[in-house]
Chains A and B, each alone.
Chain A
Amino acid sequence: MIEYSWLIPTMPALAYAVIILFTRRSKVLSGLISILTMAACLGLSVGILIEVLAKAPADRVISISWSWLEIPPWTAHVGVLIDPLSVNMLLVVTLISLLVQIYSWGYMHGEVRFSSYYSYLSLFTSSMLLLVLSNNFLQIFVGWELVGLCSYLLIGFWYFKPEAADACKKAFVVNRVGDMGFLMGVITIGMVFQTFDFAEVEKMVSTGVANGTFQTGFIAGIALLLFCGAVGKSAQFPLHVWLPDAMEGPTPVSALIHAATMVAAGVFMVARTYSLFLVDQHAMTVVAFIGGFTALFAASIALAQDDIKRILAYSTLSQLGYMIMALGVGGYTSGMFHLTTHACFKALLFLGAGSVIHGVHNQDIWKMGGLWKKMGITAATFVIATLAIAGIFPLAGFWSKDAILAAVYESQIPGHIVLYFAAVFTAFLTAFYMFRLFFVVFTGEPRDHHAHDHAHESPFTMTIPLMILAILSISVGWLNLPGFDAYSKFVYHGEFHEEVFNWTMAWASLLVAIAGIILSALFYYWKVFSAEKTAETFKPIYLLLKNKYYVDEFYGWMVKKFVFGLASICTWFDDNVVDDGMVDGSGWITRKMGSLFSLTQTGYVQNYALVIFGAVAVIYLMVSF
C-alpha cells in the first residue's frame, strides 16, 4: 500500500480537474466523483495504517522522493513521508473529508454551483494531503499555500454576499502575514542547510548543535519563523482574527477546513519540525505561552457571542491553543492526540450547527430554542460533541484534554504552573460556553415561532455523518485508555517513554468541567440566575468580550493610522518623485534632448554633405596623428 501512497493526494487533484473540466454540468456526477475519490483515499489510508502498524516501531518512517528540479546546490524534491504522524493526519483528513462531503450532499442541495463546490473540496483535500505527506519544506509550503487558496475560495464561495467576500480577503491577508514568516524560515533553512528534506535537516541540526556549529538561539529563530506560519494558519493570537470571519463560508466547509483539518495544519507543521523547536527552550516557551494565551483568550470571547458558528469558531481557536500549548510544553503525543479527537468532535459540532442552520435558516442562537423535539438526531449528536469538548468522562475530549493538562503540569518550561491554571480555567470556560450554546439552542421554549415551526430534521445524508462522528467522538479517546495506550505507542517524537495517566489531575479537571456545566445550567436551563442581569452588572467586561477585546478595531485603527500613513507617504513619493520626477522627468529629458539634437536635422542636404566631408577630414587627422 505504501508504494501507492502518492495516489492519495493525486486522486483528489484529478477529481478536481475532471469536475472542473468535464462534469460541471452534472451535479450528481460531480458529487459522486468527489465522494468516491475520497472513499478511495480513505481506503488507501487505512491500508497504509495497517501496513505501518505491522512494522517494527523503528521501521515506521518511510520516505520516498522524486527529484523535481535542480538548482545547485539545491534540489527540490517532491515526495511522500509515511510515518505515524502523517498516517494519523491522513486518516483524520480523509475521514473527515469523506464525511463532510457526504454531509454536503444534503446541505448544499439546490446550490447552483454545486459542482464547483465539490471540485473545491476535492482540491482542498488534495492540497491538504500533499501538505501532510510532504517530506520536505518546499512541498509543505506548496501544500500550505494551496490549502490557503482553497480556504479563500470556499470562504468566499457565496462571493455575492459582501461579508463573505470581505471574510475571504481577510483570511487571505492575515494568513499572508504568517506565511511571510514561514517562507522566511524555509528560505533560511535552504540557505543554511542547503537541503529542504525534513530528515536531513533534523540530522544536521542535531549534529550541528552537538558539535557547536549552530547556536541554539539561531535554530530557535528558524523555529519561530516557521511558527509564524503556524500562528497564521492555526489562527493563534495575534493572527486569530480571520477564523471567526471565515464562518461566512458554507458550514460543512467550516467543519472541514476551519475546524478539523486545515487549521490543524499549523499544529501539524510544528509537530513535523518538532526537533527544531526542541533545541531551545525559549522557542518552546514562546510556543507554549502563545497557545495557552490563545486558549484562554478565545474561550473568554466565546462566552459573549450570539452567532452559533462564531461561538464554535472561538471554541476552535481555544482548542487549537490547547494543541499548540501541548506542543510547546513538550507534550507531542498529547497535542497530536487532541488534534485527532478535536477533529472528530469539532467537525461534529459544526455539522450539527449546520444541521440546525439548515433547519431554521438562522445563525443567531437567541432566535432558536426548544429544537430538541424537532431535531432529535442533531440534538443527540450535538450533546455528545458538547460533552466531548467539555472533557466529560469517558468521551474523547476527556482523555486528550487531560493528557495536555498533565503535560503542562509536568513540563519543565518556566511558568508552566501559570499555564496549567490558565488551561484549567479554559476548560471551565469551555464547558460553560458550550453548554450555554446547547441549552439556548436545544432546550427551553422556542423564541422565534416562525423559525421553530419551519424547523425540521435534516435528511439522512446529513444525519449519517453526524452519527458516525458521534460514535467517533465517544470512542476515539479510548485509543489511549490508561494501560492500553495504543495511540501514544504509535505517535511519539524521539524515544518512546511510558506516560502514566494522572488520575488526580483528570478528576480535578472533570470536576472543573462539571462545575462549568452546572453553572451554565443555572444560567440558561433552570434560569436561577439571569444572564441579562449579570451582563448588566459586569457591563464593561461583557462589552469587552462581546467586542472580542476590540482586536479587530485595534487592527483597523492600526491599519488606518500606520498603514494608511505609510501608504500616503508612499503615494506622495510615487506622485512627486517617481511620477513627476522620474517618469515625467525621463520623458522631459528625452523630449529636450530630442529637440536639441533635432537642431542638427536641418533638412538641408548640403549641410549633411558638409558634415560628412568635414568628418572625413577630422577622422583622417585623428588617425594620422
Chain B
Amino acid sequence: MNSIPVLHFLYLSIILFSIGLFGVLIRKNAISVLMGVELMLNAVNINYLAFAKYWNWNTLTGPVFVVFVITIAAAEAAVALAIIISIYRQMKSTNVDEVHYLRG
C-alpha cells in the first residue's frame, strides 16, 4: 500500500492555505503577514503539482505555473520587505493596523 490518494494532497493544500490565510488575517506584524502569504502561495503550488501529476499528462502547464509563482513570490517578498522597512523608518513600527491613513 504505497499509493496516496490525490485528494490527500489537496487536503494538505487546503489546510496549508487556510492556515496561511488565518495568519494573514490575525497577525499585527507586517512581516508575519508576509509569511502567511508565502504559506498560501506554497499551498497553491502543491495544488498545481498534484493536478499536473494526475491530469493533463501532455502539458507542462502546472510546473510552468509553479515556476512563475515561485519567481513572483520571490519578487513580491523583496518588494514587500522594502516597503516594510520604509514604513518602519517612518513610523518606528511594523504593525499593519497602525498604518491606516486611508481610513474614511
Interface residues of A (CB under 8 A from B): 597-606, 609-610, 613
Q: Which A residues touch B25, using CB under 8 A?
A: 606, 609-610, 613
Interface size range on B against A: 10 to 19
- Whether A603 contacts B33 by the Cβ 8 Å rule is no
- Whether A606 contacts B33 by the Cβ 8 Å rule is yes
Q: Which A residues touch B33, using CB under 8 A?
A: 606
In the complex, B52 has a CB within 8 A of chain A: no
Complex Cα–Cα for A316 and B101 (A): 79
Complex Cα–Cα for A601 and B102 (A): 7
- Whether B103 contacts A602 by the Cβ 8 Å rule is yes
Complex Cα–Cα for A604 and B101 (A): 9
A603 partner, pick from B21, B24, B26, B101, beta carbons under 8 A: B101
Q: Which residues, 73 to 104 on B, are CB-close (under 8 Å) to A?
A: 96-97, 99-104
Which of B21, B101, B102 has its CB near the most chain A CB atoms (within 10 A)? B102
Q: Which B residues touch A603, using CB under 8 A?
A: 99-104
Q: Please name 25 pairs of A and B residues whose Cβ atoms are closer than 8 Å in the assembled complex, sorted by A.
A: A597-B104, A598-B104, A599-B104, A600-B104, A601-B103, A601-B104, A602-B100, A602-B104, A603-B99, A603-B101, A603-B102, A603-B103, A604-B97, A604-B100, A605-B96, A605-B99, A606-B24, A606-B25, A606-B26, A606-B33, A606-B97, A609-B24, A609-B25, A610-B25, A613-B21
Complex Cα–Cα for A606 and B103 (A): 13
Complex Cα–Cα for A609 and B27 (A): 12
Complex Cα–Cα for A611 and B88 (A): 26
Known contacts A603-B103, A604-B100; 9 additional CB pairs below 8 A are A598-B104, A599-B104, A601-B102, A606-B25, A606-B33, A609-B25, A610-B25, A613-B21, A613-B25
B102 to chain A, nearest CB (A): 5
Complex Cα–Cα for A95 and B62 (A): 96
- Select from chain A the residue with minimum beta-carbon distance to B27: A606
Complex Cα–Cα for A603 and B99 (A): 7
Complex Cα–Cα for A17 and B36 (A): 79
Q: Which B residues touch A599, using CB under 8 A?
A: 104
Can you list the 7 inter-chain pairs with the closest CB atoms, starting with the nearest?
A598-B104, A603-B100, A601-B104, A603-B103, A603-B102, A604-B97, A610-B25
A423 to chain B, nearest CB (A): 82
- Select from chain B the residue with minimum beta-carbon distance to A614: B25
Q: Which A residues touch B101, using CB under 8 A?
A: 603
Complex Cα–Cα for A613 and B24 (A): 11
Complex Cα–Cα for A597 and B103 (A): 11
A602 to chain B, nearest CB (A): 6
Q: Which residues, 14 to 63 on B, are CB-close (under 8 Å) to A?
A: 21, 24-26, 33
Complex Cα–Cα for A613 and B36 (A): 14
B22 to chain A, nearest CB (A): 10
Complex Cα–Cα for A190 and B63 (A): 76
Q: Which B residues touch A597, using CB under 8 A?
A: 104
Q: Which B residues touch A613, using CB under 8 A?
A: 21, 25
Complex Cα–Cα for A332 and B53 (A): 104
A617 to chain B, nearest CB (A): 11
- Select from chain B the residue with minimum beta-carbon distance to A600: B104
Q: Which B residues touch A598, using CB under 8 A?
A: 104
- Select from chain B the residue with minimum beta-carbon distance to A608: B102
- Whether A604 contacts B104 by the Cβ 8 Å rule is no
Q: Which B residues touch A610, using CB under 8 A?
A: 25
Q: Which B residues touch A606, using CB under 8 A?
A: 24-26, 33, 96-97
- Select from chain B the residue with minimum beta-carbon distance to A598: B104
- Select from chain B the residue with minimum beta-carbon distance to A596: B104
Q: Which A residues touch B104, using CB under 8 A?
A: 597-603
Complex Cα–Cα for A162 and B97 (A): 72
Q: Which B residues touch A600, using CB under 8 A?
A: 104
A593 to chain B, nearest CB (A): 12
Complex Cα–Cα for A606 and B101 (A): 14
Q: Which A residues touch B97, using CB under 8 A?
A: 604, 606
A305 to chain B, nearest CB (A): 75
Complex Cα–Cα for A599 and B100 (A): 13
